[in-house]
Amino acid sequence: MIARLCGKPVARSAEGLILDVNGVGYLVHATPRALARAEGAELTVETYLHVREDALSLYGFADGEERELFIQLLSVSGIGPKVALAIVSGSTPAELRRAIAREDTARFQAIPGIGKKTAQRVVLELKEKLTGSELVPYGDAGSDKHLVAREALVELGYTLVEAEQALAQIDPELPPEERVRLALRAT
C-alpha cells in the first residue's frame, strides 16, 4: 500500500493533483486541504490506494486524521471512495466526528450524493467505531458554532446544502454571527 507521497506538484486536473515523485507522476484525488498545500515546491500527502478490479486510484489527504476518517467511511455500506472523499473534503475530521457523535444527519445530507438513509447509515455505523473520547459532548446542540450559523442561514432562506457550502469556506473558529455575516457577504 502507498501510505505517503512526497514530491513536487506539477499539474492540477479536474480529477486531482499530479505529484512528481522522483520522475514518476502520480495522479492523486485530493481533499481541498491537501490541494491548498500544493503551492509549495515540495508537498507531502498522506495517501490511500483504492484497488478495484479495473483501476488503482490514489487518494490524498492533508494529514493522517483525514485519511483515517476516509478509511472509516469506506467501511460504511453504500459509501465508495468518491463519496467518502466528498465527505472528508467538506469539513475537518473533528467537525465530522462531532456531527457523528451528535447524530447530525443533516450535515451529511448536505453533501451531494448522500440522501437521508445514507446519512443515517453513516452516523449509525460510525458512531459505534468512535472512541469514548470522541463521543464526549461538546455542549448542547445550540452552543455548537457551526450548527448555530447553519440554522441562521437556513432561517434567512438558504437551503441546507447552500448553508453548508457557504460555511465550508469560512473559518470555523469565528463566532457564529461573524460566520453568518461573511457567508451573506460572499453571496
Could you state, in order of their start, the residue ranges of all structural domains in the chain?
4-61, 65-135, 141-186
Lowest-pLDDT range of 143-147, 154-158, 165-169:
143-147
The pLDDT of 111-137, averaged and rounded, is 77
Lowest-pLDDT range of 49-53, 140-144, 167-171:
140-144
Q: Does the structure show a pLDDT above 70 at 65?
A: yes
Q: Does the structure show a pLDDT above 90 at 163?
A: no
In this structure, whether the domain defined by 65-135 belongs to CATH 1.20.1090.10 is answered with no
**C-alpha to C-alpha distance for 91 and 64, rounded to whole angstroms:** 15
User: What is residue 131's predicted lDDT score, i.e. its pLDDT?
Assistant: 52
**C-alpha to C-alpha distance for 27 and 48, rounded to whole angstroms:** 12
Q: Does the structure show a pLDDT above 70 at 139?
A: no
Choosing among 3.30.930.10, 3.30.460.80, 2.40.50.140, 1.10.15.40, the CATH entry for 4-61 is 2.40.50.140
For residues 118 and 79, is the Cβ–Cβ distance under 8 A?
yes
User: What is residue 102's predicted lDDT score, i.e. its pLDDT?
Assistant: 84
**C-alpha to C-alpha distance for 69 and 73, rounded to whole angstroms:** 6
pLDDT grade for 133, boundaries at 50, 70 and 90: very low
The fraction of the chain above a pLDDT of 70, given in percent, is 93
Mean confidence (pLDDT) of the chain: 85
The pLDDT of 7-12, averaged and rounded, is 91
Q: Is 123 helix (H, G, I), strand (E, B) or coil?
A: helix
Q: Is 121 helix (H, G, I), strand (E, B) or coil?
A: helix
